[in-house]
């Protein structure tokens, strides 16, 4: 395969250092901020709202494996556990080491998401200001991390929407720091797409941010408490693991239902770590619902969902390892790869595996999915009207 093909990791992660929030947060919140405590007997604990996280069993425990896939710390059964920071691959929190790893993988550019930051916003019951200050602290840290090589290390900022808050100021700050990518905002009361948040989305549109809907940090829009796992009594890990992509599907429908892509044409969106095999059939289902509701005068959408997604360059979908791409030929220009590095079970040689998995595709499709889709998507600019 042509080694000069541009490779972009559209879903990489960092691991937050244990002292991140204490060092980077507003001093007013330092004494009770999120932190990690040492627990040799059961593994270090992630402290949220003053108590151990109920979603993260432990942090660390064993030395990071060399040239092997990382392991899930939650499932370890050891006599004693080494500290969290000693359990991390250096490439997960040291930018120079990350660049070295990217060179080894022939990765040109990586979009970097948080890890613990996917979880704690769903778990905290603290007041809005507390949450906001923690997000600002993280955004400052990841910005500093990526300054080592801002052409290759691309930070994805954490955002929020709180009632009765100036939700736009954070976007101005992120823009001043040259962020181009943000996560879908955390919203603890209803949908972040609600009409009451027009100023937020107008500012996102003005700054032309790319908004990422990432698994584990996507609202499901069901009438259940934020962060609650979907499942009934008696369902197990298999049920949860299979269905944890459903919020991504439901969130995409909620996005289209809100008309935000139509109202704000300069915003781009991704759906990550939710696979993409469902997209063609779901577009058919959404078009069917559109036609039925339109006929009954009950649909406000201007265009069919398939037209909104397929006839623009404003949506990308991350594909999964070993996913069958043959049914996805219609959306090849909207597919991207992800390493998910350094999360558990991600292949340590993920790009080599991606190249192998994509080898049977036509060269144009292969290079598009490996990187040119992401490059085109992220570098486009919408002119002012």
Q: What is the mean pLDDT of residues 40-65?
A: 95
Residue 127 has pLDDT above 70, yes or no: yes
**168 band by pLDDT with thresholds 50, 70 and 90:** very high
Q: Whole-structure pTM over 0.75, yes or no?
A: yes
pLDDT of residue 305 exceeding 50, the answer is yes
Give the long-range contacts of residues 360-364, CB within 8 A, separation 24 or more.
Answer: 361/325, 363/2
Task: Name the average pLDDT for the chain.
Answer: 93
- Tens digit of each residue's pLDDT (9 = 90 or more) over 339-385: 999 998 788 888 888 888 898 899 999 999 999 999 999 998 777 54
Where does the pLDDT of residue 243 fall: very low under 50, low under 70, confident under 90, or very high at 90 and above? confident
Per-domain residue ranges for the chain?
8-31+89-379
Q: pLDDT at position 164, please?
A: 82
- For the chain, give the percent of residues with pLDDT over 90: 79
CATH topology of domain 8-31+89-379: TIM Barrel (3.20.20)
- In whole angstroms, give the CA distance from residue 324 to residue 151: 32
Handedness of CA 243, 248, 251, 252 (dihedral sign): negative
In the predicted model, what is the mean pLDDT of residues 11-33?
97
CA distance 218 to 227: 9
């Amino acid at each position: 395969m042509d080694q000069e093909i541009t490779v972009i990791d559209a879903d990489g992660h960092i691991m937050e250092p244990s002292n991140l929030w204490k060092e980077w947060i507003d001093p007013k919140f330092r004494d009770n901020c999120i932190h990690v405590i040492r627990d040799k007997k059961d593994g270090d604990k992630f402290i949220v709202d003053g108590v151990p996280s109920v979603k993260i069993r432990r942090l660390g425990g064993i030395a990071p494996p060399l040239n092997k896939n990382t392991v899930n710390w939650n499932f370890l059964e050891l006599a004693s556990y080494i500290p969290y920071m000693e359990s991390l691959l250096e490439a997960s929190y040291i930018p120079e080491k990350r660049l070295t790893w990217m060179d080894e993988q022939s990765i040109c550019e990586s979009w970097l998401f948080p890890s613990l930051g996917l979880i704690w916003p769903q778990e905290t019951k603290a007041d809005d200001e507390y949450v906001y200050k923690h997000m600002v602290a993280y955004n400052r840290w990841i910005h500093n991390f990526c300054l080592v090589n801002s052409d290759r290390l691309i930070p994805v900022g954490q955002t929020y929407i709180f009632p009765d808050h100036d939700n736009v100021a954070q976007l101005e700050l992120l823009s001043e720091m040259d962020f181009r990518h943000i996560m879908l905002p955390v919203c603890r009361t209803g949908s972040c797409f609600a009409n009451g948040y027009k100023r937020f989305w107008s500012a996102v549109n003005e700054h032309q941010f790319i908004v990422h809907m990432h698994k584990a940090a996507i609202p499901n829009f069901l009438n259940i408490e934020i962060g609650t796992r979907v499942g009934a009594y008696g369902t197990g890990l298999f049920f949860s693991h299979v269905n944890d992509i459903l919020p991504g599907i439901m969130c995409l429908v909620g996005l289209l239902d809100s008309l935000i892509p139509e109202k704000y044409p300069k915003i781009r969106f991704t759906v990550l770590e939710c696979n993409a095999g469902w997209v063609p059939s779901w577009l058919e289902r959404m078009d069917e619902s559109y036609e039925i509701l339109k006929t009954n005068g009950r649909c406000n959408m201007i265009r069919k969902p398939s037209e909104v997604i397929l006839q623009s360059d404003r949506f990308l979908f991350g594909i999964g390892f070993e996913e069958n791409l043959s049914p996805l030929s219609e959306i090849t220009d909207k597919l991207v790869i992800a390493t998910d590095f350094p999360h558990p079970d991600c292949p340590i040689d993920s790009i080599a595996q991606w190249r192998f998995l994509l080898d049977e595709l036509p060269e144009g499709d292969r290079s598009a999915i490996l990187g040119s889709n992401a490059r085109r998507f992220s570098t486009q600019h919408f002119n002012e009207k």
